Amino acid sequence: MDNPRKRKSSADGSTLTGTSSGNLEEIRKLNENLPLLSRRVTRRQAISSVAKAAMGVAAAAVVGGGAYAAYVASQAATQASKTTTTTSSTATTSSGEQLKFGLVSFSLSDPAPAAWRDGWVASCNALGVQPLVFDYGFDASKALEAVRNYAASGVQAIWVQAPTNDIIPAIAQVAEENKVYVGWIWNYLPNQEPWTYGSGKYVLFNRDVDGIFDHRVPARAVFQYMKNEGKGNGKAFLISGRQGQILSNVRDYAVWYEWTKFYPDVDLRGFLYGQWSIEPAIDATNQMVAKHGNPDGCIGANDAIAIGMARALDAFNVKVPTAGSDAQLPALKIMLEGKGFPIIVDAGFNLAYDGGASAAMFYDVVKGSWYPKDGERIQICGMIGLANDVDKTKALLGDLVTQFPYKWFSVQDYQDQVINKPPGPWNWKAMSIAKAEAEGITFDRTGGGAFGSTVYPVSQTPFGTTDKFNQLYGDQQNKTPADYWGNRANNG
């Protein structure tokens, strides 16, 4: 009988696997710099530039008749890169085949998923696992297709970035049918915990950034900065993330909460979607300026959107306090330069660490060294706060500093210890129970050091319980901009 996990992934026999002989550092640098390219470079052109520069690094494959590039970081690529952890011996299945983990990313031309990818690749290589990476380019149908083809090609585990609500049940079904472990980050369906899908065994993790908590930081910073400058009744622009994603709604809720509770005199406008990216945010900001004039402050649903807003205003020689979330590398560089776009604070998490920790958790489950309890399968990323002047920023944020479990770092220290040591200063092998035991080292899921991070079960966060987490996300699940902003929605 045909084994579905051994089937080819397309009619012509192509699979999602491949080989690579390129330099991961070159790809990482290219992905970092893409969002900072000139406004004249379109998103399509930028992605094309990545593809051209990565010739010999990306393996061409065909899925469902459509050509795409699947980046495959092999051991050869790791050895060519000075910034990636040296590989260990190859990890194999009981039948002697090398372990393969698939990552389905929403956009590797954007800094957040690219940084997460770097940690994933570094960790997989350190563990002896072959990492496979596919960019679905914001097309949910391609994301689901990639999951199906990875599962059919024989991978042991698949992680998906930012799946939309409509494909999450189908992803779970693929996992069950193919007996492949899956997890996802940056979206959550309330009251559909990982253990409620099918047998409850194969959907391992649902991790979301702590949206309500981390995104109150940029909202508070911009509103309070405006107030301190005598513009407490001035105009602020908000650009949301992506329609149909709960995370985008939750971040809108965080801004709405700060606005209505503490800064109701601010004239908050905008409420268009920036698709988590720079170029759409530029277009949305231009629409808002055309209708409402220049703002006194800007809040983006993430750093890429905040950069897009600042860049659009910079074209008019307008600079206002701006903030986003996620601690994306380009935003931190802008903060560190202290000129150009006035990003005043950042909040997020150690992206590369999180990618690496995710691979390590999969590895331990596949190796039989660990299986998470139900309460450990809904997860929150460990938050960090970043500013040029930490004390001044804490004073600006007031009680938010004491309410939420942040580690605060100066951007300079973070650059010296994390950014300048890509994909990060963490000990990838120590993050895995199985690998630590095999190597005779101490297991440490944080990866060690002052910048060691972590992943929390929901029970250890300010939510307290899964029920409270579900309640918040359930309340926001089907919200529209009009629910938050009334007739101000959609640039009204």
pLDDT at 39: 24
Cα–Cα distance between 134 and 147 in angstroms, integer?
A: 9
pLDDT at 451: 86
pLDDT at 261: 95
pLDDT at 401: 83
In the 8-state DSSP scheme, what is residue 167?
G
Report pLDDT digits (tens) over 427-470. Answer: 999 999 999 999 999 999 999 878 888 888 887 777 778 888 88
pLDDT at 339: 58
CB 411 within 8 A of CB 338: no
CB 307 within 8 A of CB 264: no
User: Encoding tokens for residue 468?
Assistant: 């409270």
Q: Helix H segments across 293-425?
A: 303-314, 329-337, 351-366, 390-397, 400-403, 411-414
pLDDT at 60: 22
Helix-, strand-, coil-residue percentages of the chain, each rounded to 5: 45, 15, 35
pLDDT at 212: 60
Main-chain phi, psi angles of 399, to 5 degrees: -70, -15
For residue 457, the cross-strand partners are 379
CA nearest to 172, candidates 196, 136, 155: 196
pLDDT at 154: 96
What's the one-letter identity of residue 398?
Answer: G
Q: pTM (2 decimals)?
A: 0.72
Residue ranges of domains in the chain, CATH in brackets: 4-209+351-382+424-455 (3.40.50.2300), 212-350+388-412+479-488 (3.40.50.2300)
User: Encoding tokens for residue 317?
Assistant: 């020689």
Q: Could you say which residues of the chain have pLDDT below 50?
A: 1-87
pLDDT at 211: 54
pLDDT at 32: 36
